[in-house]
Structure 1
Amino acid sequence: MDQLVKDDDDIIEVVKHKNYSNYEQLPAYHYGLSNMDSDSEPGTNQMNEYMTRSTFTRAIITGDLKQHIIQSCMTVNKIAVSPTRATW
């Protein structure tokens, strides 16, 4: 079995942060949030004062940028909800 990391291979970290405010078409869900202001845009990084969201991806590759092996890849998607604006 070949080694996954050779002596002359580079170890490269690739990081990506997704900015939802710059996307044209994204699915957005706001079920049960009937109090959202009319100027709020679902699908952006921050939807009014109710929610914020972000996605962060980190990959570790070995080799070079033209010929490489993906050793590890992890994506974290965070959605934070703040119920402070709820009116009862």
Structure 2
Amino acid sequence: MDLSQVPTNLPTEILNHNRQEIQRLTLIRNSMLQQGAHPAHLQPIEILINLNSVMIQLGEAPVSHSGLVAMLQTSLNIRTAWAALGVNYD
């Protein structure tokens, strides 16, 4: 079965934003690690990287109600993680 024509939860252009965010967060994490940051300070960055990875996996899945609900929850978790870092993510 060819799944290339099956609509997904999100278009590729939007998913690319999550991929760019992962790259940016990875650079920040690596810089912090090189400067000797405590693991507790790295944890929020790791959480954001993981949440963006989950968003990509959910977004690439075929359209489904449960997938969209999971994406909404993941999006809210991303906003909460940014808020914990003191970033206004609008």
TM-score bin (small chain): under 0.3
- In proportion to residue count, which structure has more strand? 1
Larger Rg: 1
- In proportion to residue count, which structure has more helix? 2
- For normalisation by structure 2, the TM-score amounts to 0.23
